[in-house]
């Protein structure tokens, strides 16, 4: 039987490079250069405890999924980099990452979660809505609408987290 566990890592850890390459490769395949002019400044220290976190899910010594959070405001964590290796999709790994991030964010003192996904990621939209995240946009049949002004392509979600909601999600 395979052993699977979470591990905290630095966002600059060399062992993250293959999975980060996969993530950014998928973004490039789905969006081309759509988000090129919207690159966010990311600082490593935002993802370090006690206010931030970067975790990986490992199985048999391989990183198979990852996720992170950073402070959005004093009571809200912003979840980032939730991703599962392409060859291991549809096994519930993204949900495991989401639930672990919620548990750890709650322990770190956060009361809410903010996250975004792109307009061409229907599986992520389904995951977040299915687990209590409230869309801050209208759920339209054609999500490409959000790629045109006045929108920026990002679909925003919010969720209040507390001991009860985190326990129910587990």
Q: What are phi and psi of 103, to 5 degrees?
A: -60, -45
Q: Decide if 83 contacts 89 (C-beta within 8 A).
A: no
Q: How far is CA 132 from CA 35, 37, 88, in A?
A: 27, 31, 24
pTM over 0.75: yes
Spell 91-128 as b/e; 16+ CB within 10 A means b: eebbbbbbbbbbbbbbeeebebbbbbbbbbbeebbebb
The CATH number covering residue 149 comes to 3.40.630.30
Phi, psi dihedrals of residue 153, rounded to the nearest 5°: 95, -10
Domain of residue 86 covers 4-168
Number of structural domains found in the chain: 1
- Helical H runs in 66-160? 93-107, 122-130
pLDDT per residue rounded down to tens, the chain (170 residues): 578 999 999 989 999 888 888 888 888 787 777 766 666 778 888 999 999 999 999 999 899 999 999 999 999 999 999 999 878 788 889 999 999 999 999 999 999 999 999 998 899 999 999 999 999 999 988 989 998 899 988 999 999 998 666 656 55
């Amino acid at each position: 039987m395979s052993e699977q566990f979470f591990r905290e890592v630095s966002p600059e850890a060399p062992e993250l490079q293959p999975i980060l390459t996969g993530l950014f490769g998928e973004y490039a395949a789905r969006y081309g250069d759509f988000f090129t002019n919207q690159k966010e400044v990311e600082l490593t220290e935002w993802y370090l405890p006690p206010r931030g976190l970067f975790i990986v899910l490992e199985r048999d010594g391989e990183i198979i999924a990852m996720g992170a959070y950073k402070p959005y405001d004093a009571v809200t964590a912003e979840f980032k980099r939730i991703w599962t290796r392409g060859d291991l999709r549809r096994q519930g790994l993204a949900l495991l990452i989401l639930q672990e991030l919620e548990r750890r964010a709650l322990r770190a003192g956060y009361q809410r979660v903010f996250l975004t996904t792109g307009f061409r990621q229907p599986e992520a939209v389904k995951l977040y809505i299915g687990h209590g995240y409230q869309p801050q946009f209208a759920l339209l049949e054609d999500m490409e609408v959000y790629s045109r002004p006045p929108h920026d392509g990002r679909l925003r979600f919010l969720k209040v987290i507390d001991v009860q909601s985190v326990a129910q999600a587990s």
